[in-house]
């Protein structure tokens, strides 16, 4: 191999490395952007639930329900705070069923809390309310299990399936 060929090979390898680095940087930026968007989404949802609860209380003639007032705590502590930590610390977020279960659990708890607040303020009860809490706890447990499985078998996660070739 002539020196020119060696130079060309090194150039191509360097170019390939640069492309890989650029691709990884793009991927990282994409993930970071998604993290930031996730923070904004949870912030919006938290504020939405907070405002809904406060407005509902304003028009409930002094009848109050802690479930209505504090419903925002679920998206705040189970959604916004983890998303903020992920974003600020740069923790590589893993997409997949674990997060989807987790998000579903937050939604279930939040809707269940708002629904319980509506019933409390109306002054009624429903035997069906228990299923919100059962489903929420089950989804939280499923999320934790799925998360543990994803660490043990990372190839199963959505993130790795989609970005494995570039990683």
Q: What minimum distance in Å lies between the beta carbon of 101 and other proteins?
A: 8
Distance, in Å, from the CA atom of 120 to the CA atom of 131, rounded to the nearest integer, reads: 17
Among 52, 64, 133, 163, binds other proteins (CB under 8 A): 64
Distance, in Å, from the CA atom of 102 to the CA atom of 108, rounded to the nearest integer, reads: 10
Distance, in Å, from the CA atom of 111 to the CA atom of 117, rounded to the nearest integer, reads: 10
Residue 62 sits in the site that holds other proteins (CB under 8 A): yes
Where does this chain touch other proteins (CB under 8 A) — which range of 12-20, 39-47, 48-56, 100-108?
Answer: 100-108
Residue 163 sits in the site that holds other proteins (CB under 8 A): no
When the beta carbons of 129 and 149 are compared against other proteins, the nearer one is 129
Residue 120 sits in the site that holds other proteins (CB under 8 A): yes
Q: How many CB atoms lie within 10 A of CB 108?
A: 21
Distance, in Å, from the CA atom of 112 to the CA atom of 129, rounded to the nearest integer, reads: 7
Residue 84 sits in the site that holds other proteins (CB under 8 A): no
When the beta carbons of 80 and 139 are compared against other proteins, the nearer one is 139
Q: How does DSSP assign 29-80, residue by residue?
A: HHHHHHHHHHHHHHHHHHHHHHHHHHHHHHTTTT---HHHHTTTHHHIIIII
What radius of gyration, in Å, describes the C-alpha atoms of the chain? 23
Residue 124 sits in the site that holds other proteins (CB under 8 A): yes
Where does this chain touch other proteins (CB under 8 A) — which range of 14-22, 42-50, 76-84, 112-120?
Answer: 112-120
Binding site for other proteins (CB under 8 A): 59, 61-65, 95, 97, 100, 103-104, 107-108, 111, 115, 118-129, 131, 158
């Amino acid at each position: 191999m002539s020196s020119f060929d060696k130079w060309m090979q090194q150039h191509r390898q360097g170019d390939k490395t640069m492309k890989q680095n650029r691709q990884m940087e793009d991927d990282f930026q994409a993930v970071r952007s998604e993290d930031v968007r996730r923070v904004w989404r949870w912030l919006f949802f938290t504020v939405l639930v907070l405002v809904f609860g406060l407005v509902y209380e304003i028009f409930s003639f002094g009848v109050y329900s802690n479930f209505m007032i504090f419903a925002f705590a679920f998206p705040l502590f189970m959604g916004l705070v983890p998303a903020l930590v992920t974003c600020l610390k740069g923790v590589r977020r893993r997409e997949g069923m674990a997060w989807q279960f987790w998000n579903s659990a937050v939604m279930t708890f939040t809707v269940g809390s708002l629904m319980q607040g509506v019933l409390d303020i109306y002054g009624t009860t429903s035997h069906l309310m228990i299923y919100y809490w059962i489903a929420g706890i089950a989804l939280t447990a499923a999320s934790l299990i799925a998360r543990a499985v994803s660490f043990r078998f990372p190839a199963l996660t959505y993130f790795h399936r989609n970005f494995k070739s570039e990683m």
